[in-house]
Amino acid sequence: MSAMLHLRLITPSDRTDEVVLLIEKTVGTTHLVVLPGAARDPAGDVVMCDVAREAGDELLTGLRNLGIDTTGSIAVESIDLSLSKRADKAEADAPGEASDAVLWEHLSDATHEESTLSVTYLAFITLATMIAACGVVLDNSILIVGAMAVGPEFGPLAGISTAVVRRQPRLAARSLVALLVGFAAAMAVTVGFSLFMDAVGLFTEAQLEADRPNTGFIYAPDRLSFVVAVLAGIAGTLSLTSAKSGALVGVAISVTTIPAAANAAVALSYGDTKQTWGSTEQLLLNLLGIIVAGTLTLLAQKWFWARQPKNAP
């Protein structure tokens, strides 16, 4: 991810001087442009600048304190390439490292979007659970990995952690609803899917009850399961705050949330209460581990960044 961000602001004309002063006082800013009267809706001035990622959160907080997000507009873009000595200097002057910086406004916005209970979200989590159902019945680890990669459940999990740290009850409620309704709907559909597959002879109870060396761990939770979930929660949270999307894919295929839900649904369709409860326990254990780890990781990042030295302009 680029170490520089581009800000495009629409400011009321009577607040422009305050905005410009704030930008000039923020260490790590450069390329300041002011276009008086250029904005039409809402009416006002257009102010643009580039800011080092590690100084971005401080500047965005200051702009929101001035009310620019309500009286005007704040747009933020990542710069893929910046060939400028001034940009290099701004990045060097800004305190801390870009990879360690957390853009809290961006994180809240991203998790808000990812934790919305939408038709697309429900489709992805349901399809992932159905794919995992095929994987557990066939004892096929490739299908299990594929289902884990498709599952969208990390969004609501990250949303809950973010909401706890930022004290945003509405985001917490939205994320919890998406998580619970999503898994409930996916498991209900998968029960019906399993009954259909059994009726056409593609699933059998004997396959589910047979020795499954590749997928048997899904309904046998242990302490190691929780450890893995905690490690995955830390890695997933770091991937979100540092925009390491590749790392997030790795997290998605390391924790058995979707496969556990699928195994519980298939087992329920055959009345196997032992596997149903074991899989449900595995699911809840992993969800808890990710949420706890994600929350503690965000708190640690917040504590660490608050103690970074602040350079004077």
- Cα angle, residue 198 at apex, residues 197 and 203 outer, rounded to 5°: 80
Tell me the sheet residues that pair with 47.
9, 34
**243 band by pLDDT with thresholds 50, 70 and 90:** low
User: Cβ neighbours of residue 192 under 8 Å, at least 6 residues apart?
Assistant: none
Mean pLDDT, the chain, whole residue set: 88
d(CA 56, CA 7): 9
**What is the reported pLDDT for 308?**
67
In this predicted model, which residue has the larger pLDDT, 49 or 217?
49
Give how far Cα 3 sits from Cα of 59, 62, 99, 242, Å: 15, 20, 8, 11
Nearest to 127 by CA among 205, 71, 185, 77: 185
**91 band by pLDDT with thresholds 50, 70 and 90:** confident
151 pLDDT above the threshold of 50: yes
137 pLDDT above the threshold of 60: yes
d(CA 176, CA 182): 10
Residue with tokens 């100084």: 55
Q: Each residue of 266-282: pLDDT tens digit?
A: 999 999 999 999 999 99
Tell me the sheet residues that pair with 77.
6
131 pLDDT above the threshold of 50: yes
**What is the reported pLDDT for 18?**
96
* H or E element at residue 125: helix 119-138
1 pLDDT above the threshold of 50: no
In this predicted model, which residue has the larger pLDDT, 205 or 112?
205
Range of 99-113, 147-161, 185-199 with top mean pLDDT: 185-199
Long-range residue pairs from 301-309, CB within 8 A, at least 24 positions apart, any chain: 301/100, 301/102, 301/241, 302/102, 302/165, 304/100, 305/96, 305/100, 305/101, 305/102, 308/95, 308/96, 309/95
Q: What is the mean pLDDT of residues 56-60?
A: 90
39 pLDDT above the threshold of 80: yes
